[in-house]
Amino acid sequence: MIRLEGALYPWRVRLVLLLLAGMVGAIGWRIVSLQVVDQHFLQSQGDARSVRHIPIPAHRGLITDRNGEPLAVSTPVTTLWANPKELQAAKARWPELAKALGQAPDELATRLQRQADREFMYLVRGLTPEQGERVLELKMPGVYALEEFRRFYPAGEVAAHVVGFTDIDDRGREGMELAYDEWLAGVPGKRQVLKDRRGRLIKDVQVVKNAKAGKPLALSIDLRLQYLAHRELRNALAEFGAKAGSLVMVDVKTGEVLAMVNHPTYNPNNRRNLQPAAMRNRAMIDVFEPGSTMKPFSMSAALASGRWKPEDKVDVHPGWLRIGRYTIRDVSRAEGGVLDLTGILLKSSNVGMSKIAFDIGGESIYSIMQRVGLGQDTGLGFPGERVGNLPNHREWRKAETATLSYGYGLSVTAIQLAHAYSVLANDGRSVPMSLVRMDRKPESTAVMSEPVAKTLQGMLQQVVEAPGGVYRAQVPGYHVAGKSGTARKAAVGSKGYTEHAYRSLFAGFAPTSDPRIATVVVIDEPSKGGYYGGLVSAPVFGRVMAGALRLLNIAPDNLPPPAETQTVSVPAASKGGRS
């Protein structure tokens, strides 16, 4: 007789039934929990598979010059992207898509095949909205659009080194775009949308977070002066066959940089064939020995010492001076071999300056150069700016003292040199420099005696206006002060100087009666027509300063006296008329 196995072990059947009942109860409770008690879990899981948050691009802040002229603006562009997985089903239409995108069909096909297992790839970025719409009208499966912004620079190459540029993701990469990236960059917003499993938009639900535009930035640059300086510097480089050049113009009273140009330059709107050397803001990055443009500061140390007065004489005969194994030479010879202090600046006598330096010591010259900002950080915060080098020796030997007095043995930038001359022009008071427009006049600090500064202003005016002076720097209708310089270029990778390689410099300010503008011109390696600063850089200074003074409506201080008018008496006509 056959019996069921379970009948022999009834407790096993009960155990299995109990387990099955427990499992059914647990599943039932889980269903109730998900649908009633914890319904938000399923809802969130459903949303995660259909609700999406897409970014709303933020408008980058506008950059303008000091008068509100736009230097960098953001324009809306369309970026097209694709889901390569979806596009695999439409291979026959790939040539049509490539033609609409302006791309080679083979290259596009290769890209799509290489990323066939992915769900995102850029097709093209930075199209105009019209161009993007023409591609979307093809109704190509797997092709979608994003709204972005692209930076445009109306001044182009004229202000490129100051303004800089952004990358394709609208992040600052050079110049003020990089220095003030956090200020200019906006905060993206967020939009909630519904999409199906293929990523297609079903419904635009709501804006979760509004995009916050970046803050505007007004630079200290005056675009009118920037164009003027750009043109004159470019013409000078072409005329003298120079390798490069820089020009910096500073407001003496406020420390604002009114113009800063460099050549070679580049167009930030089209950087396809950009040469890295053209991107350098040479006025703030290139360091050089300033040559004779340093003599006014050495002279100020002599006047401040109380040991020297402008009318004191120095014997510079025979035009050279031997110090150990070094020989100091003058380019121009003084008649009679005796010069007063103004004459030393006028003739740019290295021998005369050296003899004065020996008397007052190198430490005093170093001190005044440091106080006017040479070899120091300008505080502009410009990316990549260099501070140069102002040596301070424990023991000032004659050779070191002499070379420092006439501008060798130290290295500066064009912006530092402009700042130093602005201190001279501002009666010995230093104001912080700024590349951003100042709404009020900053506090100034006295770093040089006012009587000494005013005396030097008069001496430097004679350097330009006296017979035999740097007449090419003169400006009709205005008194101008300044000093030219010609410095040999140091050899790269070895000691000494490169043969027949010079920098031509001119630094000055105007009008001398009440200085308002300080300007520095640096021209690198002129190769034809001469290389002296008074010949190459001084004319650029004169033309730029003349235009700037007129554009800024600064009153002339050197007009000829009005001609005396003679009163001519005209006999009265007879009442009877003609006879």
The pLDDT score that the predictor gives to residue 455 is 97
Instruction: Work out the number of other CB atoms within 10 angstroms of the CB of residue 458.
Output: 13
Tell me the domain boundaries of the chain.
Answer: 53-218, 223-267+281-551
> Which two tokens mark 108?
């596009």
Domain 223-267+281-551: what homologous superfamily? DD-peptidase/beta-lactamase superfamily (3.40.710.10)
305 is catalytic: no
Domains 53-218 and 223-267+281-551 share a fold: no
Q: How far apart are CA 159 and CA 266, in angstroms?
A: 9
The pLDDT score that the predictor gives to residue 221 is 97
Statement: residue 20 has pLDDT above 80: yes
What's the whole-number mean pLDDT along residues 92-115?
Answer: 90
**Higher per-residue confidence, 561 vs 226:** 226
Task: For residue 75, give Cα distances in angstroms to 60, 88, 128, 129.
Answer: 9, 33, 9, 10
**Higher per-residue confidence, 360 vs 126:** 360
CA angle 238, 521, 330 (to 5 degrees): 100
**Higher per-residue confidence, 565 vs 34:** 34
The pLDDT score that the predictor gives to residue 37 is 67
- DSSP 3-state of 71: strand
C-beta separation of 310 from 342 below 8 A: yes
- Those residues whose C-beta lies under 8 Å from the C-beta of residue 375, and which sit 6 or more positions away, are 369, 387, 388, 389, 390, 410, 411, 412, 416
pLDDT tens digits along 536-552: 999 999 999 999 999 99
pLDDT tens digits along 548-574: 999 999 999 999 887 654 444 444 443
Instruction: Name the E strands within 83-172.
Output: 121-127, 143-152
Cα 543 versus chain centre, distance: 23
Q: What percent of the chain has pLDDT over 90?
A: 63
Q: How far apart are CA 245 and CA 410, in angstroms?
A: 20
Match 């506090």 to its residue by tokens.
443
Which residues sit opposite 517 in a β-bridge?
A: 251, 510
- Those residues whose C-beta lies under 8 Å from the C-beta of residue 338, and which sit 6 or more positions away, are 313, 314, 315, 316, 317
> Which two tokens mark 169?
């993701």
C-beta separation of 257 from 65 below 8 A: no
CA Rg value for the chain:
37
Catalytic residue among 292, 349, 411, 504: 292
The pLDDT score that the predictor gives to residue 189 is 77
pLDDT tens digits along 489-536: 987 766 778 888 999 999 999 999 999 999 999 999 999 999 999 999
**How many C-alpha atoms does 112 have within 13 Å on its Cβ side?**
27
Q: How far apart are CA 34 and CA 43, in angstroms?
A: 10
First-to-last C-alpha distance (Å) of the chain: 176
CATH for the 53-218 domain, from 3.30.420.40, 3.30.70.660, 1.10.3720.10, 3.90.1310.10: 3.90.1310.10
57: left (phi over 0), alpha (psi -120 to 50) or beta: beta
Which of 175, 180, 179 has its CA nearest to residue 280? 175
Query: In this structure, what DSSP letter does residue 34 have?
Result: I
pLDDT tens digits along 190-210: 777 676 655 556 666 667 777
The pLDDT score that the predictor gives to residue 565 is 44
What's the whole-number mean pLDDT along residues 429-443?
Answer: 95
